[in-house]
């Protein structure tokens, strides 16, 4: 191989340590004991006190966008609430906050009180905390790392969650700073659920999300294969016009549980657009039952 054709073995942008551990995306790969000092900085202790009142904290993640992660988050939270649990959804997707619209609470605003922000409330008493309940829907978020971390800190430290059974956190797609921030602030996460679709492309990037959790010492609760098959609106039979099994293969590769498949149904989109979660509107459908089965598996795991 000529000099002009050298193989790239590593992409190194900046490997120097500036000891700003909370802003370092290599946080979980670093062995320096100095990084533990971040847990005594700023408002980390306030976060710990707030999070202590929530029994189970589960993050929903995906390696890429377009796999229905937020829809899955909304339906898991709603199914838990339908089973009698006190549930809060934290929309950590600061660039694409859409949970309030899916939950039918986009018209409500977070209110600041002396003890912190008061979450908005939707069906079944489900609390929602999201940037979309502060900004207007047309507003664009162009924040960089420090501002994004500050927003995460506010949503975890200065919200009156109260005593809750579950906090479902809808992470943005990918494995960058917002996910790292969350794992730093909530080191006692019960686990992370990875959402993928059956394709090999999605499986490849979803693997990175699973590995991010593992590197951060966070339990991978399991893999959900979304958009897996299609339910006929007439006969209710599940058909498989495309390949299936990518999620199950990924679960085997990472040696984590496969939580289940969620087939496609046009009513999933129409119900979430209308602010009425699918499992709530169509609780007797085969797809809703598949979601309840996944929730049962999550509850057993945590």
Domains and CATH numbers, the chain: 37-301 (3.40.50.300)
Provide CB contacts within 8 A for 243, sequence distance 6+: 198, 199
Strand pairing of 191-196 and 54-61? parallel
**Tens-level pLDDT at each residue, the chain (302 residues):** 555 667 666 655 555 666 666 666 666 666 666 666 665 555 677 888 889 999 999 999 998 888 999 999 999 999 999 999 999 999 998 888 999 999 999 999 999 998 899 999 999 999 999 999 988 777 777 777 778 888 888 899 889 999 999 999 999 888 777 888 888 888 889 999 999 998 888 888 899 889 888 888 899 999 999 998 888 777 777 777 777 888 999 999 999 999 999 999 888 888 988 999 999 999 999 999 999 999 999 999 98
CB hemisphere CA count around 75 (13 angstroms)? 29
For 273, the 3-state DSSP assignment is helix
d(CA 62, CA 206): 6
Q: pTM of the entire structure?
A: 0.86
């Amino acid at each position: 191989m000529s000099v002009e054709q050298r193989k790239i073995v590593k992409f190194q942008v900046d490997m120097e340590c500036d000891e700003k551990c909370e802003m370092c995306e290599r946080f979980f790969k670093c062995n320096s004991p100095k990084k533990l000092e971040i847990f005594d900085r700023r408002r980390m202790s306030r976060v710990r006190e707030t999070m202590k009142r929530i029994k189970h904290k589960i993050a929903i993640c995906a390696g890429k966008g377009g796999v229905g992660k937020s829809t899955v988050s909304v339906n898991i939270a709603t199914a838990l609430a339908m089973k009698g649990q006190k549930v809060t959804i934290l929309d950590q997707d600061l660039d694409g906050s859409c949970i309030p619209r899916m939950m039918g609470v986009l018209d409500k605003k977070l209110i600041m009180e002396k003890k912190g922000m008061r979450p908005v409330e939707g069906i079944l008493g489900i609390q929602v905390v999201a940037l979309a309940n502060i900004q207007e829907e047309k507003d664009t978020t162009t924040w960089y790392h420090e501002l994004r971390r500050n927003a995460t800190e506010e949503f975890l430290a200065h919200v009156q969650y109260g005593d809750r059974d579950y906090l479902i956190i809808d992470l943005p797609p990918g494995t960058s700073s917002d996910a790292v921030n969350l794992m730093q602030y909530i080191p006692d996460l019960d686990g992370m659920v990875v959402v993928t679709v059956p394709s090999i492309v999605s499986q490849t990037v979803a693997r990175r999300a699973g590995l991010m959790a593992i590197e951060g010492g966070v339990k991978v609760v399991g893999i959900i294969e979304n958009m897996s098959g299609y339910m006929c609106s007439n006969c209710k039979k599940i058909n498989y016009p495309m390949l299936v099994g990518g999620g199950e293969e990924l679960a085997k590769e990472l040696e984590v549980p496969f939580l289940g498949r969620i087939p496609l149904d046009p009513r999933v989109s129409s119900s979430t657009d209308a602010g009425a979660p699918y499992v709530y509107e169509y609780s007797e459908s085969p797809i809703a039952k598949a979601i309840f089965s996944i929730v049962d598996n999550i509850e057993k795991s945590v």
